[in-house]
Structure 1
Amino acid sequence: MRITCPICGDRDRREYYYMGADVFLDRPEEGDQDAMHRYLHLRENPAGVTKDLWHHEAGCGAWLVIERNVSTHEIFGVELASKVAS
């Protein structure tokens, strides 16, 4: 899989570290162990389009939000996480 970093350009997937899918999920309040268990372990494993958080670890160090199809690995968009968060 190839990922186009907005800073470095087209790079191999091995330069990146996958940090998780559905980066926009709401994390439960601290102390609610039951809700935290469901959040961490009982979520759906989607087949289709997701937004994932990736770190360009072996490159510029940027944090990226990548919209992709997890079944086909087709990438629809790559944005700097700082721009998505603002």
Structure 2
Amino acid sequence: MRMTCPNCGERDRQEFYYSGDALALRRPAPDAGLQAWDDYLHNRDNPAGDTRDLWFHEGGCGAWVVVNRNTVTHDISGVILAERAKR
């Protein structure tokens, strides 16, 4: 799979570290309870179809990017710097 970093251009997926759903990784409050923290740390959805994911360009510029992609076809419809992404 190839991804286009907004800073570096087209790169191989192996330069990036997948960090999960860009909208679901919201840290619970410190007093949220054990179940909320367990879900945050260990449980992730695994959808088939369109997703909006957070990736880190660890083999390149070090940018966090939000990637719109399809998990079935691996088609990427957009990549934007995370700091510019709307939630």
**Do Structure 1 and Structure 2 share a fold, with TM-score over 0.5?**
yes
Q: Which runs of 5+ in 1 are unaligned?
A: none
| Cα 1:59/1:47, change in 2 over 3 Å | same
Moved more, 55-64 or 35-44: 35-44
TM-score, length-normalised on structure 1?
0.83
TM-score, length-normalised on structure 2?
0.82
**Alpha-carbon distance, 1:24 to partner:** 1.3
Map 1:1-86; keep pairs closer than 5 Å.
1-20=1-20, 22-25=21-24, 26-31=26-31, 32-84=33-85
C-alpha separation in 1, matches of 2:77 and 2:28: 29
Q: Which runs of 4+ in 1 moved over 6 A?
A: none
RMSD: 1.9
Q: Which runs of 5+ in 2 are unaligned?
A: none
**Alpha-carbon distance, 1:30 to partner:** 2.2
SS at match of 2:38: helix
Q: Percent of aligned pairs with the same residue?
A: 55
SS at match of 2:65: strand
